[in-house]
Amino acid sequence: MAVSSSSSGGIKGFLENRILQGQPLTSELVAILVVYFVQGILGLARLAVSFFLKDDLGLTPAEVAALTGIAALPWTIKPLFGFISDGLPIGGYRRRPYLVLSGLLGAAAWLALATVVQSGWAAILAITLSSLSVAIGDVIVDSLVVERARGESQGEAGTLQSLAWGASAVGGLMTAYLGGVLLEQVSTRAVFAITATFPLIVSCVAWIIQEDPVEESPTWSVIQGQMGQLWQAIRQRAIWMPALFLFLWQATPTADAAFFFFTTNDLGFQPEFLGRVRLVTSVAALLGIWVFQRFLRTVPFRTIFAWSTVLSSLLGMSMLLLVTHANRSLGIDDQWFSLGDSLVLTVMGEIAFMPVLVLSARLCPPGVEATLFALLMSIVNLAGLLSHELGALLTHWLEVTETNFDHLWQLVLITNLTTLLPLPLLALLPATSSQGEGSEDAQILWQSADPPPHNPDQETASV
């Protein structure tokens, strides 16, 4: 028994020190990481959705871009889910029942795509419901992550966020290539049916969450107190100024939908190769997280955003070589060019986004963790929706269709140049790093994260 116990302790110690970066291995942490992991696994159906909208339903690039933006709507109202979770417990619990329901909703949505959906609007409705499922689950685990993050020392800042997003990236890594391979073996609807089983995992692990039941029913004074705390936090310059920059930074138009049509209809990329591209981007996401965690936690936010934005814009211009076929004149194969471009741009994107998570989490006061963090993230998601809709408008105006890509180079040029527009507003960000190191702005940042005075009518969220 002594040997077995020692072996068990050794494995646990290895996991805590090497894999979990010093975080204690608890059932709750396992449940949190599993939920993020499932979010990554759902990427199995990403390619299937794109091909389903393009081939099965016959939508145009502009229609796909516009409808994809609509499907992101649940992520723009995450604060509503936060209020519901914080103030309206189900059966006396604030977290577990919502995780269970989110899993069941996701399974139903994917099952509908696998069976009854026959039109573009029905498809987007089902995809939006699946997005709603993930958004609700994300609000719940985000609140748990934020609560834990508040207990981290400044030297450990960002560790839990890195683990959470790392778990999601690992899930995406495991299904990235498989999604493309499956599409060459089975139909898109079969992929949707397989995907429908994954949200049920969230419903199962929800019962692992350690949560004390709410003893008293929520009252208007409690909800009013939460709204007061939220408004008090939003009014602080240390919160709304970075939020404004993040919105402008993410709201520039994207050419993703048009580029997907180009790679499949013009370049002839098959699902298996696109799965390889997704595999590369999943590895690149993990690499970006590691680079941030290892080298950039002490680098000021402004510096990270400035360099990552400029470099991403410059590197994004390399897509012009692909859409004009100039890469072939240089002797570079289309597929190899796409793989290298995807890898570099994904690394830069992850490096730029990790500070967003750390900054948002450190600003959340107790009692409204789910709501405020969801509000900050929904601002980014709303900007993403606007990005897709602006991209759809540009795609339509430039007359880029499923067969005509003559003006795609202009779309790529415009979308890359517009990413530079928020740079003059970098002063909106605090002159501090993820670890709170920097000028006097750092003191403002950390002071804004201090708990507010105790209010006997304010019931702290149980997380």
**Phi and psi at residue 70, to the nearest 5°:** -60, -40
What pLDDT sits at residue 223? 62
With a cut of 70, which residues of the chain have pLDDT below it?
Answer: 1-9, 12-26, 146-159, 161, 216-223, 225-226, 238, 357, 359-371, 373-374, 432-463
**Contact status, residue 380 vs residue 250, Cβ threshold 8 Å:** yes
- Counting Cβ atoms within 10 Å, is residue 4 exposed (0-12), middle (13-18) or buried (19+)? exposed
Give the pLDDT of residue 103.
94
Q: Quote the pTM value.
A: 0.77
Which of 256, 303, 298 lies closest to 46, judged by CA?
A: 256
- pLDDT, residue 323, reads 92
Distance, CA of 386 to CA of 396 (rounded, Å):
15
Token digits of residue 286: 């993990």
16-37 pLDDT tens trace = 665 665 565 667 777 888 889 9
